[in-house]
Structure 1
Amino acid sequence: MPVQNTDTTVVLTHPHNKETSVTILKYGATVYSWKLNSEEQLWLSTAAKLDGSKPVRGGIPLVFPVFGKNETDELLSKLPQHGLARNSTWEFLGQTKENPPTVQFGLNEKIANPELTALWPRSFQLVLTVELGADYLKTGIEVDNTSNTEALKFNWLFHTYLRIEDIEDTMVSNLAGMHLYDQLIKESFVDKHPVITFHQETDCIYSNVDADRNIQVVSRGKQIHTLKRENLPDAVVWNPWVKKSEGMGDFEPKIGYKNMVCVEPGHVHDFIELAPGKKWNASQLLYKDELKYQAIQ
């Protein structure tokens, strides 16, 4: 069967290739496995909690309504880091297409984590769409402000953990010339390096990235992941390296930083403010492509 629905997970298998599949945990609506021809594309900590006790470390956690820990907004500052979407059990809405197999999950303030909605009493409806192609994975989000009176203020981010062979042989390309904020040194500047390389902890937010920039993860001269964004102007590039990995209890093995890089498309450099009754849509597409270097304009 192309779609298997259990109490805790939904598994999609491509109808033309049983070795290509995606697994989504209903808690957080987190994609935690995507296999292409039986080869895993996402990184998942061996200590990740898949029992709904805490957000998943790995895969594609969903960040809403706040990125990081907010310190300025009266309501959003009450929420834990990265908000409430990844801390809530989503409703499986069912299958919408047979080929490519496509399913949807929903979350609103009535079924979201009650401890967190009590801190952030806003009306909203989220619909996540997961589409499994023969050679790609698309995750799309629709945010609906269901309030009749109040604007909805939020961030969105797909916190995507990509599996790689060796971080020191890995580069991220096509962000040259983009404005970034380095969260480690707390400085903003234009990145003039042709590629991003990794030899220490990296935590950078690239803002207002040109819409035609398709970010590529490159290993030893070959692209291994390509990321296309729709209506997501920002991208976070993150690797925790040695010390940060050691300090995270659910990050295992501790040398796992060598086999992952997070490339996270989102809208995080400022807040989206959605008027009552309005909707906002965005998506990320993960696929394989030829190596295509997009230089500084």
Structure 2
Amino acid sequence: MVDRANKPKTLSSTPSLPPQASVTFSEDNSRVTAELPTGESVEVLLYGATVLSWKDAAGDEKLWLSEAAKLDGSRAVRGGIPVVFPVFGTAPDHPQTKSLPQHGFARTSRWEFLGKSTSESMVGRAANELTVKLDFGLSSAAPGLDPTAAASWPFKFNLIYSVTLNRESLTTSIVATNDGAAPFDCQVLMHTYLRVKDITTVEITGLANAPYHDKVDAANPSKTQPASGPLTISAETDRVYTPVEDAVTVTEGGKPKFRVTRDNLSNVVVWNPWTEKAQGIADFAPKDGFRQMLCVEPGAVGAWQSVEGGDAFEGAQTITLLD
């Protein structure tokens, strides 16, 4: 065989794409799990579009979920990140939402999974990070809508809820669009249960000088957080803050643990049921679990958000790991 003088060199292999996130469904299609190639993961229950789990690369859980939480669609999930819409708590004096159950119907409806986006398909900064975004939808015409909602809140709406995971943070965002002609009022909140090791060693900063409504002290509900010193938890706490700063930092044992940043959400609810209240909550388990959890809940609940026909309300939180 004669050698060819201009024999072509061996073709180099086509560069492979970097590893991307994987998205899987549970066998019964009730949950969606996304995992980055580096090990970080998030799990979302379609019932309520509730984030059930968020783990770092080492597999350490960052959210608290009650051991007695109902995950079968029979009631709202106790723990994780439930979505509150269109009312926070109950509002018996508000004409549009007075008939709705506590915290509305978003957390008790089955959402539709709309798809995923990964860093491969994203632009800008996200394209250079390991990122996965899961989108969920709920509308006034959706088959999974809580049946009480249509009768109690007869507005045409469309909700898009996105859960974005990267190596150091988790972002949850919502867009609530009014698809009808009549304006509606709404409140939005991300009811985030953060997992801590010992609530007695936790300090919360970023609330200095913030006015707040104390839901535990009915006789003196209107207060202001002192300018100096962090907030600590040593009893039942249920407060609706209107912070001056955009971010709240949770420190445990003197070490920064979480930073919760808000986008177009003017309020932060800080909640821990403590001993007596936890005993009275049927799906709160273990009963001393309040020692391992802290709710820091960004929301727009201090006032009603009026959404005109064709307009939308948008809000988001980003929880960044600091330890």
Superposition TM-score tier, normalisation by shorter sequence: over 0.9
* TM-score (normalizing by structure 1): 0.93
SS of match in other structure, 2:278: helix
Q: Provide structure 1 residue ranges, at least 5 long, that are not aligned to the other structure.
A: 291-297
Match of 1:143 in 2: 176
The residue number in structure 1 matching 2:207 is: 175
Give 1:119 shift: 1.1
Q: Which residue is equivalent to 1:45?
A: 66
Give the 3-state SS of the residue equivalent to 1:118 in structure 2.
Answer: helix
**Counterpart position of 1:295:** none
Cα pair 2:50 2:80 within 8 Å, conserved: yes
> What are the Cα deviations for residues 153-188 of structure 1, in whole angstroms up to 9, with x where unaligned?
100000000000111111111101101110111311
What count of residue pairs does the alignment treat as equivalent?
285
- Tell me the TM-score normalized by structure 2: 0.86
1:119 matches 2:119: no
Two-structure CA RMSD over aligned residues (Å) = 1.2
Q: Is the 8 A contact 2:96 2:185 kept in 1?
A: no
Shift in Å, 1:289: 3.4
User: Rg bigger for which structure?
Assistant: 2
Q: CA deviation at 1:92?
A: 0.4
1:30 and 1:45 mapped to 2: Cα distance? 13
Equivalent position of 1:61 in the other structure: 82
1:189 to 223, 241, 245: 223
Note if contact 1:175-1:213 (Cα within 8 Å) is conserved in structure 2.
no
Corresponding position of 2:284: 251
Shift of 1:198: 1.1
Aligned mates of 1:9, 1:48 — CA distance in 2: 15
- Match 2:190 to one of 158, 165, 169: 158
Specify the alignment match of 1:106 in structure 2. 137
Distance 2:96 2:307 in 1: 16
Hey, what does 1:294 align to over in structure 2?
none
Residue 220 of structure 1 deviates from its aligned partner by: 1.4
Deviation at 1:114, TM superposition (A): 1.6
Q: Aligned partners of 1:159, 1:223: CA distance in 2, in Å? A: 21
One-letter amino acid of the counterpart of residue 79, structure 2: G
Deviates more, 1:177-186 or 1:248-257: 177-186
Structure 1 residue 45: Cα displacement = 0.2
Aligned residues of 1:136 and 1:287 also touching (Cα < 8 A): yes
User: 1:155 and 1:108 mapped to 2: Cα distance?
Assistant: 16
Alpha-carbon distance in structure 1 between the residues aligned to 2:149 and 2:178: 18
CA distance in 2, matches of 1:213, 1:269: 16
- Any unmatched runs of 5+ in structure 2? 1-20, 120-129
**C-alpha separation between the residues in 1 aligned to 2:239 and 2:174?**
23
1-side partners of 2:321 and 2:284: how far apart? Answer: 27
Aligned-residue offset at 1:190:
1.4
Q: Which one of 116, 129, 137 corresponds to residue 95 of structure 1? A: 116
- The residue type equivalent to 1:242 in the other structure is T
One-letter identity of the residue aligned with 1:142: V
